[in-house]
Amino acid sequence: MSDDLEVHGRTTYRHGDLRGALLAAGVEMAREGGPAAVVLREATRRAGVSPNAAYRHFADRDALLQAVSDACLGLVADRIETELDAHPATGDTVADARMQLRAVGLGYIAFAREEPGLFRTAFSVPDNLQSAAEPRKAGIRGRTPFQLVGSALDALVAAGVLPPERRQNAEFLAWAAVHGLGMLVIDGPLRGLDDHMIAFATDRLLDMVDRGL
């Protein structure tokens, strides 16, 4: 019996961090097959535990999916932060603010292309305004994608590019545009276009946002 446990790298009756293990397994399955591939029993199998053990940590399969989805949103945030780092400030306040919003969009689309399964999973669960800024949806630096868009818009206002009266709710517009492109790129009509065309479309979309906000 204790042999069985050790097979799965477990020497004690207790797992230690089953919740974490299930979450990690869920993310891995989501990566491979999107939200539908997040299967509770399979997660317990990968964690080396009986199916019902999951119910000590998640109310039901939906709760697991919700947690996986939140983790995916955090990964989106991380990818955006990476893109922000790749475009460091130059000192030109106006150009920097513009680039900041652009970087958010680029990171968003890049994540959609690099991890379509995680991207789909991130947005497969109903959300709302209240929870859009909850810490469990945040990346490693503690900011959610929604907050990252907001910061970029604040910078645009501070730089005098975006008139303050247009700031309110502007994240919805920017987000909608970029999010829509992301969806179209991974399993909408734009699926299968080559990198060059995607990059071109992204560029034009960001121009549109920049000009039209």
Partner DNA sequence: TCGCCCATGTGTACACTGTCCACAACAGCA
Partner DNA sequence: TGCTGTTGTGGACAGTGTACACATGGGCGA
**Which positions lie near DNA, rule CB under 7 A?**
12-16, 18, 39-42, 49-53, 55-57, 60-62
The encoded tokens of residue 59 equal: 């109310």
* 37 part of the interface to a second copy, by CB under 8 A: no
The encoded tokens of residue 16 equal: 């230690």
Q: Which residue among 128, 165, 194, 196 contacts a second copy (CB under 8 A)? A: 128
Please tell me the distance from the alpha carbon of residue 113 to that of residue 195, in angstroms, as a whole number.
Answer: 9
Nearer to a second copy, 11 or 128 (CB): 128
Closest CA to 120 of 30, 20, 10: 30
Q: Assign 49 to helix, strand or coil.
A: coil
Q: Which residue among 39, 53, 184, 199 contacts a second copy (CB under 8 A)? A: 184
Q: Which residue among 192, 194, 195, 196 contacts a second copy (CB under 8 A)? A: 192
Nearer to a second copy, 14 or 211 (CB): 211
Residue 160 near which of a second copy, DNA, none (CB within 5-8 Å, type-dependent): none
Residue 192, H or E segment: none
Q: DSSP letters along 17-32, please?
A: -HHHHHHHHHHHHHHH
Residue ranges of E strands in the chain:
none
Nearer to DNA, 32 or 62 (CB): 62
Residue 161 near which of a second copy, DNA, none (CB within 5-8 Å, type-dependent): none
Burial class of residue 152 (count of CB atoms within 10 Å of its CB; 0-12, 13-18, 19+)? buried
Chain positions contacting a second copy, by CB under 8 A: 123, 125-129, 132, 146, 169, 172-173, 175-184, 187-193, 200-201, 204-205, 207-213
